[in-house]
């Protein structure tokens, strides 16, 4: 790649404006969507950064004042969404700019969904045809701008929102939650510290890996997942080693979006376990997936020998087949100083039964390569607590 600005426009899976510095087009993109008073949804860490301050100032200079809402948690909650809807109404807003990691993107998408609804948010959990209850006329337009490269929420049609009463992460879904416009600007991720770069990048890997192994017929998703894992194998180590590597930052943003496109094929046991652990212990989602990854691969081994063999060839790994992929994953974790056990991040084994039940009931569980029940999840969880691969 010779043009280091990576400037391009895509219309798959939604309108995507790709390239370094394209954040400067934000006021114009708002006007294209008819937004005169957008609500910028971001998180408390980002809102104080000069990067976000200058986005707000530049928009004002361009004649587009932004209302700002940043009261969201790392794993955003239903109460965060309600507060965002209240802010949207109080400022008389007409659209949402979701700017940040998966937490801000999910919160922003959920706020845009909930502004015009009479049902509570939990009525739109991705179960059966709940999404038919949504009043689509009440949905507000969204511009999604990721500042981490991991969740791919910018190209997803759902938001992961924690129900704090039930202590569950719930997937809120509607086909039209796919943002109208996505801005992939790698300059916005240059300041992401190495540990978050690594953990979010491993989340992108987990999406592509689980999608690639899911036992559903979806060759389009399979192809996207395979190429995204090649991008991750080349560019994630570079982005972690040198945060200012613009090409690596760009390619990781794309690989992250590819992951969320690919996981229409399904996720699996990594996410089935990461969701309850995130809800109960409030730990970073990507870090949980990174820790769980090798334990889940080993538990699935009998069902994934063939895709692992293909993956090892595509990535030109030094060892072929399942063992080659496992070695690669363990190498990445060591290289990025990611803990080997859940115990190292303060998760003990006392809730094993509850976590196993929650994992077996998680929406990501049915597309795992093997039909794991609560006993299987208990075993994987205990292995991940104790470091037994």
Site residues for ligand NAD, 225-284, by CB under 6 A, read: 260, 278
Please identify, using beta-carbon distances, which residue of 64 and 205 lies nearer to ligand NAD.
205
Binding mask of the shown chain, residues 277 to 296, with x at each position contacting ligand NAD by CB under 6 A: -x------xx----------
Binding piece for ligand NAD, criterion CB under 6 A, among 155-163, 214-222, 298-306, 342-350: 155-163
User: Rounded to the nearest whole angstrom, what is the least distance from the CB of residue 46 to ligand NAD in the complex?
Assistant: 5
Smallest distance, Fe ion to C-beta of residue 285, A: 6
Among 197, 200, 312, 368, binds ligand NAD (CB under 6 A): 200
Contact flags string 57-86 toward ligand NAD, x per CB under 6 A: -----------------xx-----------
Residue placing its CB nearer to Fe ion in the complex, 106 or 203: 203
- Cβ proximity to Fe ion: between 256 and 383 the closer is 256
Interacting residue with Fe ion among 43, 180, 185, 203 (CB under 5 A): 203
* Shortest spacing between CB 71 and ligand NAD, in angstroms: 13
Question: Taking CB under 6 A as the rule, which mask of x and - marks residues 93-132 in contact with ligand NAD?
Answer: -------xxxxx-x--------------------------
Rounded Cα distance, 172 and 103, in Å: 13
Between 203 and 362, whose beta carbon lies closer to Fe ion? 203
If contact means CB under 5 to 8 A according to the sort of partner, which of ligand NAD, Fe ion, none does residue 84 touch? none
Q: How far is the CB of 358 from ligand NAD (least distance, A)?
A: 14
**Exposed (0-12), middle (13-18) or buried (19+): which is 118, by Cβ within 10 Å?**
exposed
């Amino acid at each position: 790649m010779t043009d280091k600005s990576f400037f391009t426009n895509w219309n798959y899976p939604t309108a995507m404006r790709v390239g370094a510095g394209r954040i400067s087009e934000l006021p114009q993109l708002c006007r294209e969507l008819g937004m005169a008073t957008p609500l910028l949804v971001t998180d408390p860490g980002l809102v104080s950064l000069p990067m976000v301050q200058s986005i707000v100032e530049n928009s004002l200079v361009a004649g587009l004042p932004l209302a700002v809402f940043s009261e969201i948690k790392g794993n955003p909650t239903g109460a965060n969404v309600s507060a965002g809807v209240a802010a949207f109404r109080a400022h008389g807003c007409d659209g949402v700019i979701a700017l940040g990691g998966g937490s801000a993107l999910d919160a922003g998408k959920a706020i845009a969904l909930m502004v015009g609804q009479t049902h509570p948010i939990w009525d739109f959990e991705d179960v059966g045809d709940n999404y038919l209850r949504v009043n689509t006329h009440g949905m507000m337009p969204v511009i999604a701008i990721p500042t981490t490269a991991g969740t791919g929420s910018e190209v997803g049609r759902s938001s992961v929102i924690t129900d704090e009463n039930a202590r569950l992460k719930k997937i809120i879904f509607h086909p039209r939650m796919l943002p109208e416009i996505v801005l992939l600007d790698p300059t916005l991720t240059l300041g992401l510290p190495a540990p978050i770069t690594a953990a979010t990048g491993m989340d992108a890997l987990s999406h592509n890996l689980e999608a690639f192994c899911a036992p559903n017929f979806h060759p389009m998703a399979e192809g996207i997942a395979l190429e995204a894992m090649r991008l991750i194998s080349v560019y994630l180590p570079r982005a972690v080693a040198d945060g200012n590597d613009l090409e690596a930052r760009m390619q990781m943003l794309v690989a992250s979006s590819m992951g969320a496109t690919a996981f229409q094929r399904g996720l699996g046991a990594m996410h089935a376990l990461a969701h309850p652990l995130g809800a109960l212990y409030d730990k970073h989602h990507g870090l949980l997936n990174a820790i769980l990854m090798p334990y889940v691969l080993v538990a699935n081994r009998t069902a994934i020998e063939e895709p692992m063999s293909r993956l090892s060839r595509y990535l030109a790994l030094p060892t072929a087949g399942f063992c080659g992929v496992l070695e690669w994953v363990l190498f990445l974790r060591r290289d990025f100083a990611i803990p080997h056990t859940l115990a190292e991040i303060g998760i003990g084994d006392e809730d094993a039964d509850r976590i196993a039940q929650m994992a077996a009931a998680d929406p990501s569980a049915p597309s795992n390569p093997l039909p794991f029940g609560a006993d299987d999840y208990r075993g994987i969880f205990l292995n991940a607590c104790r470091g037994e691969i």
